[in-house]
A and B are shown apart, each in its own frame.
Chain A
Amino acid sequence: LSRYTAITPADLDAMLAAIGVSSVQEIFDRQIPEAVRLDRALALPDGLGEQDVYTHLRELAARNTSAEDELSFLGAGMYDHYVPALIDMLMERSEFLTPYTPYQPEISQGGLQVMFEYQTAISELTDLPVSNASAYEGPSAVAAAGYLAKLHNGRSRFVVSAGLHPHSIETLRTHAHGYGMQVVEVPLRDGVTDADAWAQAIDGDTSAAIFAQPNFYGVVEDAEALSAAAKAAGVAAEGNGNGNGSSGGGAPVVVAQVDPITLGILKPPGACGVDVAVGEGQPLGNRLDFGGPSFGFFAAREEYLRRMPGRIAGETLDVDGRRGFVLTLQTREQHIRREKATSNICTAQALNALAGVVYLTWLGRQGLVELGDLLLARTHYARETLAALEGVEKLHEQPVIREFALRLDGDLAAIRRHCALHGVNPGVDVHAMSGREQDRGVLLVAITERRSRADIDRLAEVLQAALAAQHDPAAAGETVAA
């Protein structure tokens, strides 16, 4: 008898008799050839009791410095926002935690209604009429948007802004290589996508033009101008006979990766001419979890509905005329359409999307705006305060909402180590993520509602000491000892 099983010796006898075999061994012997049977025990430790497993996992957790253990300004895609207690409670309810994908709608109305509400919330946030029920996470949602564009217009190239998250660019490249598409990167100028290079790079072979809002460096892009320029450049190229795009209509699909927490105050992608908006849903009520699971969101204009990836819930009536919800437009999906499916997604992120819609409901209509304005004000304060320090300069002057980049005069790794000793994680080493030479010494600092003015002032104090220590190693030793 193993953990979580329930077969007693009496059960076993009755079951073997019913099956008509003498042992469990016989069931396997009759089916698996000797040559591919494992003739030894797996080389894994023996099983542990529940309390011992807890202790082991608790010990591993204790060797991690979490956002609970230090003053953390880490961001770059995932953020330490407060997750309200009611989300924990709802996510642990058996009714949400333990069902499979709702294949039997009559007994899955709860989950299906959550999807329908989630889709509504994402449509509202993005100002785009159609949303799926979730994608895996941010970067793969960008790749999924690329695949939608490929199916839509059959062209050969993606043009991406260098302001897109490095993981998004790399994920897109990984996927695009499979189906043979090129990825062309447009550089930034003054912290935002270089408008001239952007317009130049987009032609009649451009399947999708992809940028981030705000971009990886935290800077607000002129999304309307980027969308308009992409469409104009694509159309002009088509008109000139430049490019051999196989579909009618010259404009590429304009895709934006957006940060959902900014959408209470930032002009939404739908109002900026964006065709497909995707993004990382973690800021909306999901834990950091060392990078996952969270959810990705995927919203689009109506014309892309039948090419959307993943599950979509729709409203209908039952035989008694009662309102209900079902998975709909399933002829897009792998289990029906197989090799002609719009994506291979089966299991996505339903539970994490639940956290997302509950979080948005918890914030409410005014709350999302208030939170956005608070982040905006504190981020501005933090940038100005830190940039005033000796040896620190802001990388950009443009508006930022929740994150910003600084260039530090000194060895960033040593500075970050110094800060860590004082219980402060000052942010992300951008070069380590982007690999771009110009990002050496650049620190990306993220602000959430959990980081107060006092916390920002503390960061300034510790950062200043760390910078001073750069120029006076003796002082560094003293500080560490203190």
Chain B
Amino acid sequence: MSTVEDNLLHADPGIDVHPVPTHAHAGGATPLQRDRARTVFQKGAPGRRAFVCPPLDVPATGAEELLPSRYRRSEPPRLPELSEPEIVRHYVGISKRNFDLDSGFYPLGSCTMKHNPRLHERVAALPGHARLHPLQDPERAQGALELMFNLQGALGEISGLPNVSLQPSAGSAGELAGVLLSRAYHEDRGETRHKVLTPDTAHGTNPATVTMAGFEVVKLATDPDGGIDLDDLRAKADSDVACLMLTNPNTLGLFDRNIAEIAEIVHGVGATLYYDGANLNAVMGLSRPGDMGFDIVHFNLHKSFTQPHGGGGPGSGPIAVSERIAPFLPRPVVARRDDGSFELDQIGEKSIGRLRGFHGNYGCFVRAYAYICSLGADGLKDASEAAVLNANYLLARLREKGVAEYLPLAYGELCMHEFVLSGGPMKKELTIKTLDLAKRLLDFGFHPPTVYFPLLVDEALMIEPTETETKETLDAFAAAIAKILAEAAENPEIAAGAPYTTPVRRLDEVAAAKRPVIRQALG
């Protein structure tokens, strides 16, 4: 890519014209522009435009009659004024300042950055899906309703919990639905419970959700094997507990072997067991939350089922529940009538109601359904097996000499689809922190793992390679880690100052938070 020429052509005369440093592409990094950032509001000129408004084809009526001046905006919002070619150059230009999954390895733990097949974009863009209005009569949206019905069925089968609502907008919305379902279930039995249990390894969304649903968070300790501390659970499980929220495999990448006993304790006090589906990619076709004793599950279609992450959404967080929770599901769900046609079922009076407008993120359903159709029963199982194999292989490579002494595995021996290393010894021996290692990985063209999570692991690195990576990529990543550690043994300053090859280097986040500038100042 001729970024030097691009910069010269893009830049306004006299503004920051400068060549790209020759080291910009070192270390195999994706070519990313090192232009100075100017926002779209700082480009263009008054009077430029892309949009051509259709001509007024109805009789002109007095402005005051149409909209009295007291309701009228006095000055138009100061939106940018650019020609279409300028808009394209601007956004294509800044897109090149992003790293993305199509460009390289993205082992971000807990996020399941697996390949996003382009087929899914093609089918989702078909006008019959993309231009279908949500209030179209069900009789004339039968294809969409059948797709949703089939997806509900597939998710029910994968989870072992047959009652599915696709409505929640993302994982955290699915969690909220789940905890509200738990509340509705208890209230229906005439009980008011106040507490929800979450392990200390839980995703931050769990405790945040618990508060939003009006419950108090009670934290559970982790035992030396990385699972729930059963004694702590027994001590805290009482008749005031509404629900236990659990991820299995958990955020340490470990399957909690005591799951049957955990379910027994939780159900023993009349509480519900909630499954955070963030880590479902480890167990599809191999083990089902419903069979483990869970009452409520949420799925992340943007993780296990390849909805592209979009730089922070859209996602989709359907939920599946057991029979006793089904009457409370958020409305609507898709049902099949006796004649084989499909309808939107508003559930009964016991429904917790809507969590959002319309039927959920249908565009994500199309993609997830296409994925399930592509893989089928065997393919989903193969995907989970390959995800676990890849994770264990990468873990094995990182337990070799030169790495393991600095980055030991935090818990366990084997792992499921991801694993957590501790950068504690690295910090002590080599004086570089997990953050430094992560930033140095950028110079090698890799997205770093999730860092500093889970909270109970010192200097944590959470690594999830997914099933769609090759052995060569995993080897190259392991080699990069080894090289960075060896380099740090020689000169820790290199990692401490990294990255060097990215569009910008380390950014002052403290200053950004102290004096927030969250919009472009306009003249």
Contacts and interface: CB of A to CB of B under 8 A. Distances in A.
B324 interface: no
A117 B392 CA distance: 42
B357 A287 contact: no
A48 interface: yes
B513 A314 contact: yes
B313 A267 contact: no
Interface in A282-297: 287-293, 295
Given A50-B374, A110-B98, A292-B314, 4 more contacts: A137-B356, A340-B211, A374-B53, A452-B54
A248 B375 CA distance: 58
B370 interface: yes
B21 to A, nearest CB: 11
Interface stretch (A58-66, A195-203, A474-482): A58-66
Which among B71, B113, B366 has the greatest number of chain A C-beta atoms within 10 A? B71
Which among A5, A47, A449 has the greatest number of chain B C-beta atoms within 10 A? A5
A99 B448 CA distance: 12
Nearest to B48: A364
Interface stretch (B2-10, B169-177, B229-237): B169-177
Nearest to A290: B362
A112 to B, nearest CB: 9
Interface string B85-118: 0011001101111111111001010010111110
Closest 8 CB pairs of A and B: A61-B128, A291-B358, A351-B310, A47-B376, A291-B134, A2-B382, A63-B143, A293-B314
B29 to A, nearest CB: 8
Interface in A412-441: 416, 420, 425, 428, 433
A324 B37 contact: yes
A313 B4 CA distance: 28
Nearest to B310: A351
Given A30-B414, A174-B355, A343 B361 contact: no
A182 interface: no
Contacts of A178: 176, 179-180, 183, 212-214
B355 A140 contact: yes
B209 A67 contact: no
Interface string A319-340: 1101111101111011111111
Which among B100, B499, B504 has the greatest number of chain A C-beta atoms within 10 A? B504
A41 B379 CA distance: 11
B520 interface: yes
Contacts of A38: 160, 285-288, 291
A305 interface: yes
B190 interface: no
Contact of A60 (B144, B389, B469): B144
Contact of B78 (A65, A358, A365): A365
A465 to B, nearest CB: 19
A93 B453 CA distance: 30
Contact of A344 (B87, B154, B208, B497): B208
B311 interface: yes
A60 B147 contact: yes
B381 interface: yes
Contacts of A326: 507, 509, 512
Interface in A39-73: 41-48, 50, 53-54, 56-69, 72
Contacts of A291: 134, 357-362
Interface stretch (A78-86, A234-242, A386-394, A403-411): A78-86
Given A324-B504, A335-B204, A138 B357 contact: yes
Contacts of A338: 204, 207-208, 217
Interface string A2-13: 111111000110
B24 interface: no
B401 interface: no
A228 B366 CA distance: 45
A212 to B, nearest CB: 13
Contacts of A74: 133, 135-136
A41 B362 contact: no
Given A36-B259, A174-B330, A364-B80, A140 B173 contact: yes
B132 A289 contact: yes
Contacts of A95: 95-96, 98, 100, 102-103
A104 B438 contact: yes
A90 B288 CA distance: 38
Nearest to B257: A33
B490 interface: no
B458 interface: no
Interface residues of A, number: 208
A175 B212 contact: yes
A197 B123 CA distance: 49
Contacts of A362: 50-51, 84, 87
B313 A347 contact: yes
A89 B207 CA distance: 39
Contacts of A433: 135
Nearest to A313: B518
B396 A449 contact: no
A32 B287 contact: yes
Given A43-B157, A117-B40, A293-B361, A360 B79 contact: yes
B315 interface: yes
Contacts of B292: 36
Interface string B143-165: 11011000000100110100000
A224 to B, nearest CB: 8
A359 to B, nearest CB: 9
A94 B516 contact: no
A56 B373 contact: yes
Nearest to B467: A5
How big is chain B's contact interface, by range?
35 or more
Nearest to B519: A120
Contacts of B358: 77-78, 167, 290-292
Contact of A68 (B101, B131, B287, B311): B131
Given A3-B374, A107-B442, A76 B135 contact: yes
B224 interface: no
Given A27-B414, A84-B50, A345-B172, A173 B353 contact: yes
B421 interface: no
Contacts of A277: none
A363 to B, nearest CB: 5
B154 A44 contact: yes
B307 to A, nearest CB: 9
B51 A363 contact: yes
Contacts of A77: 134, 357-358
B50 A348 contact: no
A449 B53 contact: yes
Which among B88, B130, B366 has the greatest number of chain A C-beta atoms within 10 A? B130
Interface string A148-181: 0000000000000000010110110111011110
Contacts of A453: 57-58
A57 B313 contact: no
B119 to A, nearest CB: 5
Contact of B100 (A99, A266, A368): A99
Given A290-B362, A316-B512, A20 B396 contact: yes
Nearest to B118: A92
Given A139-B354, A335-B204, A344-B176, A33 B313 contact: no
Contacts of B1: none
A119 interface: yes
A354 interface: yes
A468 interface: no
B81 interface: yes
A171 B259 contact: no
A315 interface: yes
Interface in B166-219: 169-173, 175-176, 179-180, 183, 203-205, 207-214, 217
Contacts of B98: 95-96, 99, 107-111
A369 B364 CA distance: 33
Interface in A359-386: 360-371, 374, 376-378, 380-381
Contact of A86 (B48, B87, B115, B132): B87
A350 interface: yes
